[in-house]
Structure 1
């Protein structure tokens, strides 16, 4: 299928690894010019080394918790590639994990500042030029946790619920300008984030990582009937579709890529 992305300019945050990097890879394969951004110059350079053979790609360091950083990064993207037609915000952290009563304000604020306010800052710099051109695609990463919260990571759940509300509000505000805003909600994807989670679980239980994954699926994610972690490319495929002209009538949606983890309609 031709996604009609040839020549489009995309900005992908959190693109140094995992789902963000795979999204950048697929956008390049579809003919888009891609800017990737993250906090680490080293990890960005590693990603660029993997991606540069696929097309025009550039990397820019930015901290999504800092408004000045995001604005400066966006200006560099405009100067290097042009004004982005597409924004994919994949930057995020698991954040503070503990019983609710044991998590202080610092844990809450750090998680919200990255996972929710990072999306706010990225959308704020990208949407004006999209509106002016009457064409834009914004895809924000939410999570299964946004609608199916888990008691040991409530800051993350609340932040991702905020992302869903943010995307829905933006879709209403700017859909009339043909700036379409949607969310993708993955569940338990094979990324560096879940690698660390499973390594910790294996260490605590004295098992192998594979056994830790199997027990996590059985005990914590019984709705994931495929009984495996998702692959980054399975999420990226949905993101790229939402970025495309083929998704021209989808606005304000939350697309779950979760193996059935969310056990409601």
Structure 2
């Protein structure tokens, strides 16, 4: 299927690994130009090198999305090197503060929301107006199964992702009539560096192998994931690529779950 992305420019945050990197890989394959961003320039350059595209189609710009001045610099540099993006895919995020509610202090809540919610607000604010001016744009924000099915040991993350879903719906109602379509994708337990770290920690705590930690996590904590495995980042990237394409021209304000059935409700 031709996604009609040739000539489009996309910004992908959280692009040095995982879902962000695989999304960039797929968008490049579909003919788009891509700007990658993440916090560490060296890791970002290595990620860009693995993508193998030329400087006319791929740039890597490090930025801390919790800092407004970094986001503003990112906007200027991407626009100067590739042009204003038509597509924004926001994958950057962290697990954040973990523990039961009474164990997490206010700083833990603030730092998690700063990265997992306010960063999304900042990047949309920075890149929205050129899409509105062109009358064509696609925005996909990464949410999570946790947004609608919260887990007691990571409530700051869950609350941030629920806020992302609300933001997506509000943006879609505000700007859809201007040609800027906004949607969410909600993965569950994808094989990324974030879940690698979670499983490494679980294995150490339980005195098991990492694979045994994954298997027990699926059985005990994600029983509705019917495929009984972690998802692959490219499986999420495929849904994102569809949503940012011309093929999704009637999709706006939706939340696409890529979760193997993890969310128990319809």
User: 1:68 offset after TM fit, Å?
Assistant: 1.0
Aligned-pair Cα RMSD in Å: 0.8
Per the normalisation by structure 2, the TM-score is 0.99
User: How many angstroms apart in 2 are the aligned matches of 1:13 and 1:74?
Assistant: 12
Deviation sequence 1:14-66 (CA, Å, 0-9, x none): 00000000000000000000000011011101101101247811000111101
Q: Which residue does 1:218 correspond to in 2?
A: 219
Stretches of structure 2 that go unaligned for 5 or more consecutive residues are none
Instruction: Give 1:110-189 correspondences, 5 Å limit.
Output: 110-189=111-190
Q: Which residue does 2:199 correspond to in 1?
A: 198
SS in structure 2 of the partner of residue 256 of structure 1? strand
User: 1:129 offset after TM fit, Å?
Assistant: 0.3
Per the normalisation by structure 1, the TM-score is 0.99
User: How many angstroms apart in 2 are the aligned matches of 1:254 and 1:223?
Assistant: 19
User: How many angstroms apart in 1 are the aligned matches of 2:260 and 2:43?
Assistant: 29
Q: Which residue does 1:42 correspond to in 2?
A: 42
Q: Which residue does 2:210 correspond to in 1?
A: 209
Q: Which residue does 2:263 correspond to in 1?
A: 262
Q: Which residue does 2:101 correspond to in 1?
A: 100
Instruction: Tell me how many residue pairs correspond in the alignment.
Output: 265
Instruction: Give 1:14-93 correspondences, 5 Å limit.
Output: 14-53=14-53, 56-93=57-94
SS in structure 2 of the partner of residue 61 of structure 1? coil
User: How many angstroms apart in 1 are the aligned matches of 2:107 and 2:189?
Assistant: 25
Q: List structure 1 segments (4+ residues) > 2 angstroms apart after TM superposition.
A: 52-55
Q: Which residue does 1:13 correspond to in 2?
A: 13
User: How many angstroms apart in 2 are the aligned matches of 1:201 and 1:240?
Assistant: 32
Q: Which residue does 2:245 correspond to in 1?
A: 244
